[in-house]
């Protein structure tokens, strides 16, 4: 009986460990991760949507199935202040609905089906909570906030806290002035400044609590790289558009992105292809 009880305790213990594990907790953001071309994580832009609708629960599941590190999702708000996952401000391109999403209530938005190209699927627009529940314990999440009102952003924090996902979600922050205020809401939730100019990059480096920065896919000066490495900050770059297109036409886009730039995390519309490339070159954890 005692032996059986011990076995059950051991099984439960390791089940909890596996459930709570994330790449953050495994030390990927520690000093050894910031070495040049050491290891690179993969982000699925709007989920793995090569065969399913973007920003859908199925796109998240595909990323999980294919062992992608991060899924990037876009957050918007409905007329009645419910947070949903949708890239465009209008419903027309990706759903069977039409018009601005912020002028419709959640109960109406939920009636629409997601499109995959010209095909109408049975997938619905997920709420933020539904999307995070799908990802929880299985994949890291980057939320690109398409909302600017502080109450909406506070609601994002509340949902993350409610689901105990502080360690596995990163929020993209475009407005650097918001950074200190949002950091005070919960210092455990990582905020990622998105910078498009060298001047903003310098400002971001002076913000307290920055662990990761998204920069344009261009070469940084040695001085800036040294400053980033001194602060133990990871660099996120996008392969979207330029390097993805190069890769698609067989012009070694991923190789050129990595060769030309210091990078620790790459976002792409072709996450499975990037993961295969990184693994082939021993660049993935």
- C-alpha 33/C-alpha 268 separation (Å) is 20
- Please give the C-alpha separations between residue 119 and each of 51, 123, 272, in angstroms, as whole numbers: 11, 11, 23
DSSP string, 195-253: --SHHHHHHHHTSTT--EEE--SSPPPHHHHHHHHHTT-EEEEE-TTHHHHHHHTTS-H
Token digits of residue 175: 């407005």
DSSP string, 115-128: EETTEEEEEEPPBH
Question: Catalytic residue at 49?
Answer: no
Q: Which of 37, 49, 82, 87 is catalytic?
A: 87
Q: Phi then psi for 105, rounded to 5 degrees?
A: -80, 160
Q: Phi then psi for 37, rounded to 5 degrees?
A: 55, 35
Question: Catalytic residue at 87?
Answer: yes
Of 215, 221, 216, 220, give the one whose Cα is nearest residue 234.
Answer: 215
Token digits of residue 99: 């018009």
Q: Which of 45, 49, 82, 264 is catalytic?
A: 45
Give me the helix-helix angle, 222-230 and 198-205, nearest 10°.
20
Enumerate the active-site residues: 45, 87
């Amino acid at each position: 009986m005692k032996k059986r009880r011990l076995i059950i305790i051991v099984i439960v213990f390791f089940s909890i460990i596996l459930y709570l594990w994330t790449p953050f907790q495994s030390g990927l953001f520690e000093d050894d991760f910031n070495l040049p071309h050491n290891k690179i994580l993969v982000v699925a832009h709007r989920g793995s949507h090569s065969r399913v609708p973007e920003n859908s629960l199925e796109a998240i599941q595909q990323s999980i199935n294919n062992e992608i590190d991060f899924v990037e999702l876009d957050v918007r708000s409905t007329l009645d202040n419910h947070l949903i996952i949708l890239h465009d401000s209008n419903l027309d391109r990706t759903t069977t609905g039409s018009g601005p999403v912020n002028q419709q209530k959640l109960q109406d938005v939920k009636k629409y089906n997601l499109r995959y190209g010209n095909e109408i699927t049975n997938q619905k627009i997920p709420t933020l909570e539904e999307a995070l529940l799908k990802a929880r314990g299985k994949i890291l999440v980057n939320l690109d906030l398409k909302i600017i009102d502080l109450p909406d952003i506070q609601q994002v924090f509340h949902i993350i806290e409610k689901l105990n996902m502080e360690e596995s979600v990163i929020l993209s922050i475009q407005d650097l002035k918001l950074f200190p205020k949002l950091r005070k809401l919960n210092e455990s939730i990582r905020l990622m400044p998105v910078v498009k100019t060298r001047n903003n990059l310098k400002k971001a480096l002076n913000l307290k609590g920055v662990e990761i920065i998204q920069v344009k896919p261009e070469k940084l000066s040695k001085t800036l790289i040294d400053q980033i490495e001194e602060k133990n900050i990871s660099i996120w770059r996008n392969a979207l558009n330029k390097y993805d297109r190069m890769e698609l036409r067989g012009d070694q886009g991923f190789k050129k992105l990595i060769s030309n730039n210091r990078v620790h995390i790459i976002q792409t519309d072709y996450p499975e292809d990037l993961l295969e490339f990184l693994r082939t070159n021993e660049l993935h954890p």
